[in-house]
Amino acid sequence: MTDIALPDRIALDAWYAVAAIDEIRPDRTRSVTLLGARLGVTRGSDGEVLVSAEAGGSALPVALRFGHVWTTLGAPAADVFAIAEYHEPDRRNVNAGSVGVRTSGPRVVENFLDMGHLPIVHADYLGVEARAEIAPYRVDVTAEPDQILATRCRIFQPMSSVAATQGFEVDYTFRVPHPYCAVLYKSSPVDPARNDVIAIFAQPVDQDHSVAHMLVSVLDQTHSDQAIRAFQQFIFGQDRPILENQIPARLPLDPRAEIPIRVDATSSAYRRWLRQKGVRYGVLA
């Protein structure tokens, strides 16, 4: 499908994750597509990462954050958002893979924010149908910081992470600091006073295709990186065919197009937030 509209200013002036740093082999160029533009990501033997536009070769801004290479096609007003937990000394930070998905960035983000599907799509792991009822929770949209925060979300999870040894009621907090990124804070099975963090950074390849980059930042001194990664890949592997069977691929922002229920408060706030910001890429106005 030909995209007649170029990416808008909001889409252009944002930072995007385009690769996990570890996956860029030294002295090799990795080709990635961002907002329809082909870019080259190179890692020199000195470790420096460079991103350039493939046609013309001009260098683009680069930020290395959360184990990923971030770049932009425009001029962002601020740095990449922060995730404080990432820098805690006892954290295990694992990049859980970069997976291509045949849907828009906003659909990827909204699925990540959704709780109603946890006992259905991820049955016996992140929820169970016998305890599928979701109690009302709180959603706050703030300008400073510019983000959505959903708190007091709770759900019973038979296996909330690879470190969980039994089922328990897990507290969830969702944060949307960027139109195409979301961060989840969930009660750690290892230390109930602290949170595990899972983040998804959607790279819009074009309006109907994305790459989902996933970060897992947990308190787990027992399991290998591979085991932590495998769990997240399994969970996302269950989401992916759902995402690819949503029609249309672009997120409809008209509230009459798809019908939410009370439980969908976070996703309703997300769609309103995108509309208010004037986001046009990967959505249907």
Contact residues toward another protein (CB under 8 A) are 1, 20, 22-23, 31, 95, 97-100, 102, 110, 114-117, 119-121, 129, 132-134, 208, 211, 224-227, 229-230, 233-238, 240-242, 244-249, 252, 258-263
Are 217 and 198 within 8 A, CB to CB?
Answer: yes
Minimum CB separation of residue 229 from another protein in Å reads 7
CA 29, distance to chain mean position in Å, is 25
* 3-state class (DSSP) for residue 71: strand
Question: Closer CB to another protein, residue 73 or residue 162?
Answer: 162
User: Rounded to whole angstroms, how far apart are CA atoms 223 and 214?
Assistant: 18
Question: Closer CB to another protein, residue 53 or residue 230?
Answer: 230
Question: Closer CB to another protein, residue 30 or residue 91?
Answer: 30
Minimum CB separation of residue 68 from another protein in Å reads 12
User: Rounded to whole angstroms, how far apart are CA atoms 216 and 225?
Assistant: 10
Cis peptide, bond prior to residue 189, ω within 30 of zero: no
Minimum CB separation of residue 8 from another protein in Å reads 21
Which residue do the tokens 């269950």 mark? Answer: 238
CA atoms within 13 A on the CB side of 188: 18
Minimum CB separation of residue 99 from another protein in Å reads 6
Question: What secondary structure letter does DSSP report for 227?
Answer: H
Question: Closer CB to another protein, residue 166 or residue 262?
Answer: 262
Q: Can you read off the two tokens belonging to residue 149?
A: 């925060």
Question: Closer CB to another protein, residue 129 or residue 144?
Answer: 129
Minimum CB separation of residue 208 from another protein in Å reads 7
Q: What is the 3-state secondary structure (H, E, C) of 103-144?
A: CCHHHHHHHHHCCCCHHHHCECCCECHHHCCCCCCEEEEECC
Minimum CB separation of residue 52 from another protein in Å reads 18
User: Rounded to whole angstroms, how far apart are CA atoms 15 and 76?
Assistant: 7
Residue whose C-alpha is closest to residue 118's, from 154, 73, 87, 82:
154
* 3-state class (DSSP) for residue 182: strand
Question: Closer CB to another protein, residue 79 or residue 258?
Answer: 258
Question: Closer CB to another protein, residue 234 or residue 277?
Answer: 234
Minimum CB separation of residue 114 from another protein in Å reads 8
Residue whose C-alpha is closest to residue 279's, from 19, 37, 11:
11
